[in-house]
Amino acid sequence: MYDVALVAEIQKFGFDSPVGRAFEHRVVSHGLTVMKSWIASSTIWAQTVAHLGYRGESCWSREEALTLAYDSVATAWRRFKKNILEGEWDPAKSSLQTSFLNKCKIAFVEEYKKWRERSRPQALEVLVPTGSEGDGDYGSPVRSAEESVVERESVRHAVGNMPRRTAQILALRAEGYSREEIASYMGTTVKGVDSVISRWRKNRRGGEPHE
């Protein structure tokens, strides 16, 4: 088999050899192309469900999607490289390409969980509602430091009693997603998104409990 012979040569001469460098370039380039496509189209979740039984939410920006792809491939490559050098790759289970993509899926879930921890609290903390309704805007672009602190504390307090669906919609809006994109992601209509935002604003002003 070609893969077996290739691994044997890499184990003998190392990844710094011409064959090793060519292999790294080919595998990493292919892995990155596939991961970028899976993440951009959200088909990554079909892959992680099938391989790991895990599914998350596709609520990242384009820049964050690219970062997730690069970080996942980088983590997967470090592990894959070690597996090859230590003779842990099993040709009876999968080809080199398939084995690497499986490692990319595992690494993606890990990177995704770390990204969620970093991004979610920030998204909710910077969410600042205006007094108007239906315009889809959140806060003025220029605020004093004191106003920012007061607004963020208000949001933190509100989030504590907020239904999960409402929190998701507000967090996505704070991250810059359009009302149309949020409606598509949440499986509702633009009117439904506007209704959630409008009701939350009214509740904040009136001090009523969230529904």
pLDDT digits (tens, 9 = 90+) for 51-103: 889 888 888 888 889 999 999 999 999 999 999 999 999 999 999 999 999 99
- How high is the pLDDT of residue 172? 74
Residue 80 structure tokens: 């894959």
Q: What is the DSSP letter of 55?
A: -
Q: List all residues 6 or more positions away from 73 whose beta carbon is below 8 Å from its beta carbon.
A: 28, 31, 32, 35, 104, 107
Higher pLDDT: 41 or 200? It is 41
pLDDT digits (tens, 9 = 90+) for 36-49: 999 999 999 999 99
Q: Structural domains in the chain?
A: 2-119 (no CATH), 145-206 (1.10.10)
Indicate the pLDDT class of residue 121, thresholds 50, 70 and 90: very low
What is the C-alpha to C-alpha distance for residues 121 and 106, in angstroms, rounded to an integer? 24
- Does 135 have pLDDT greater than 60? no
pTM: 0.59
